[in-house]
Amino acid sequence: MKKRLVYIGSVFVTLLMTFLIIGLIAAAIVQFYALNSNHILSLVEAKQLPEKVSASLTDQFNTMENTTGIPASIFENEISPAKLRPLISDSIENGFSYIRNERANPDAAPDFSILETNVEKFFIEYAETNNIPQDETFKTALRESIQNAESLILSECDVFQFRKLNQYHYLDKIKPFTNWIVIGLLACILAILLMLFVLYGINSEEYEYCFYWSATAALVGSFITLIPSAYVKSSNWFDRFALKQDQTFAAVTGYLNMVTQHIIIISVIGILSSIILYALFGILRNKRMNKQTINEARH
């Protein structure tokens, strides 16, 4: 009867530990990878985001040339991959800093002075050549053209669409939770340690079973995080992402695949840890059984 109670108690504690391990994996992934700008910035080069943004902007300014009359060549230097790289990195850095409550807004404030000078120079030359009066209408058209060009460049460089998400207050829904991630992480660690003490208390007569139950919790918790992540990664599920704009698609799917990959790695580490714990349990159990056998033989 006592052994049954010990078994049932241990199963219950193991279940609790399983969910604590899942919570720990989730909190660790979010804290160290999902919201870590250094990891995310590696996507800029890995996914060739500056080249994609540059190609998109070149296409758009070429298309707009027909309606605006402004040659795309005016913007060429300012939309090269080299010029866009810091803008894209800033937009990613600012966006994730905003989510982590380290900034007041996710907007970047780049220096467009060269672009403004180029557009103004073109407008003035065009007006002088075509005898267009440089009146208020002209100045308004110039100002709006500059604003539209800057807005377009910033919008294209905002590969994760933070400005749009912020505009519709979606980021405000996520922000309150980021303060609790570190607390959650520490709480999970403390709770797991507490569960280990409880397990030791329940299995004090055969303490090697603590390793068995810890291994079971680690194995089950890791399986639960591994299986959906492995399915999503192997089926390229994130390629179903609805926004097909090249740079946004590459950035978002690259980010999601990166996070999924880290979940898989941590889950595999969890499974390997459980194997080590099972092995330790086996060794200690064998030792105890051998000791018992020797004692029985003596008596």
Partner 1 sequence: MAKFKPKSKVKKKKKHRNLVYYFTPPLVLMLALGICIMAYIFTPVHMVQPFLNLIFLDNHKLTDVSDGLNIIEKDIKTDNGDGQTFSDGKITYPTFGEQYAVLSAESIQLTCGVFYGVNKELLERGACQSTQSPIIGEAGNTVIDAHVNTYFANLSDLKKDDEIILYTDYGNFTYKVKNLIAFDKNDKRYLTASDQTLLTLYTCQPQVIGSPNQRIGVQCEPVSMKFYAPN
Applying CB under 8 A, the residues found at the interface with partner 1 are 7, 11, 14-15, 18-19, 56, 59-60, 63-64, 66-70, 123, 126, 132, 141-142, 144-145, 148-149, 212, 216-217, 219-221, 223-224, 235-242, 244-246, 249-250, 253
* Least distance in angstroms from the C-beta of 131 to partner 1: 12
Residue placing its CB nearer to partner 1 in the complex, 178 or 216: 216
Residue placing its CB nearer to partner 1 in the complex, 102 or 170: 170
For every residue of 211-230, DSSP letters joined together read HHHHHHHHHHHHHHHHHHHH
* Least distance in angstroms from the C-beta of 219 to partner 1: 6
Q: Long-range contacts for 199-202 (Cβ within 8 Å, ≥24 apart)?
A: 199/10, 199/13, 199/14, 199/17, 202/6, 202/9, 202/10, 202/13
Dist CA 279 CA 185 (whole Å): 28
* Least distance in angstroms from the C-beta of 296 to partner 1: 10
Dist CA 81 CA 272 (whole Å): 43
* Least distance in angstroms from the C-beta of 84 to partner 1: 17
What six digits make up the tokens of 170? 């979606």
Residue placing its CB nearer to partner 1 in the complex, 60 or 105: 60
Residue placing its CB nearer to partner 1 in the complex, 25 or 142: 142
DSSP-H helix ranges across 106-161: 113-129, 136-157
Residue placing its CB nearer to partner 1 in the complex, 31 or 245: 245
* Least distance in angstroms from the C-beta of 166 to partner 1: 17
Q: At what angle do helices 209-234 and 2-29 cross, to 10 degrees?
A: 40
* Least distance in angstroms from the C-beta of 71 to partner 1: 11
Q: At what angle do helices 246-298 and 209-234 cross, to 10 degrees?
A: 160
Residue placing its CB nearer to partner 1 in the complex, 93 or 246: 246
